[in-house]
Amino acid sequence: MEWSGEGLIIGVRRHGETSVIVEAMTPDRGRHLGLVRGGRSRKLAATLQPGNQVQLHWRARLDEHLGMFSVELIKPRAADLIADRTRLYAAQLLCAHLRLLPERDPHERLYRMASEIMDDGNELVELAQMISIFEFTLLDELGFGLDIASCAVTGATEGLAYVSPKSGRAVTAEAGAKYLDKLLPLPAYFTTFENAPAEQVQDGLRLTGHFLAMHVWNPRQIEVPTTRDQLVASLAELV
């Protein structure tokens, strides 16, 4: 069994004295692992950095085996990310999110979004907004998507302003007026994709964070990534 294709390095861990197990996200084969012999060498260590885009060749005797990776660098991002703390936090968070996906389950949309965000040179607010949209999409890809197409109470498709923290369904400002203390704000940019101010992006991250905790982090007993907390804290300083 073997295949070749591009991938995004999202994790590396030691294996034995000289090798590593590489975790990569690929567009058509999803999150995939493979052993890289000699991966701890100086030459390969620079290539096998999270955030780098690589050409992968995987082979194994049987499809269910871990298999072996050979890796060739396509786009080195790691050095640029290290030089920009905000982008580094964002990249680390994206890698942590991609590791939540089932192994070998294709999610091309998330792969493309993660690659674009890592390449983007936007400032903190725009970057945080893109992260929240990625998280919104991640929830959908994991089967926990929010229903913001219409109001859960009236069926209206306009004026949607809040989301129920229990059902994940949207409601209009009028329908939710009596329950403001129980509802989560729904930033308009989740449907318009226009640039938003820091306050709205804060609401967006609060929204996606709530449902990630409900459906993913808490059930799997996973701590919220510290890089996410750091991005949220940095954004709060601008509000």
Burial 48-72 (b: 16+ CB within 10 A, else e): bbbbbbbebebeeeeeeeebebebe
- Segment 8-34 mean pLDDT: 96
Confidence of residue 79 (pLDDT cuts 50, 70, 90): confident
Q: Starting from the edge strand earliest in sequence, which strands make up the sheet with 170-172, in order?
A: 170-172, 160-163, 184-185
How many whole angstroms separate alpha carbon 148 and alpha carbon 152? 9
Percent of the chain with pLDDT over 90: 90
User: Which has the closest alpha carbon to 51: 70, 29, 28, 23?
Assistant: 23
Confidence of residue 96 (pLDDT cuts 50, 70, 90): very high
Residue 147 has pLDDT above 80, yes or no: yes
Confidence of residue 204 (pLDDT cuts 50, 70, 90): very high
The pLDDT of residue 116 is 95
Residue 121 has pLDDT above 80, yes or no: no
- According to CATH, the superfamily of the domain at 2-79 is Nucleic acid-binding proteins (2.40.50.140)
Residue 43 has pLDDT above 90, yes or no: no
How many whole angstroms separate alpha carbon 131 and alpha carbon 134? 5
How many whole angstroms separate alpha carbon 107 and alpha carbon 7? 12
Confidence of residue 120 (pLDDT cuts 50, 70, 90): confident
Other C-beta atoms lying within 10 Å of the C-beta of residue 189: 18
pTM strictly above 0.85: yes
Q: CATH 2.40.50.140 occupies which residues in the chain? A: 2-79
The pLDDT of residue 122 is 77
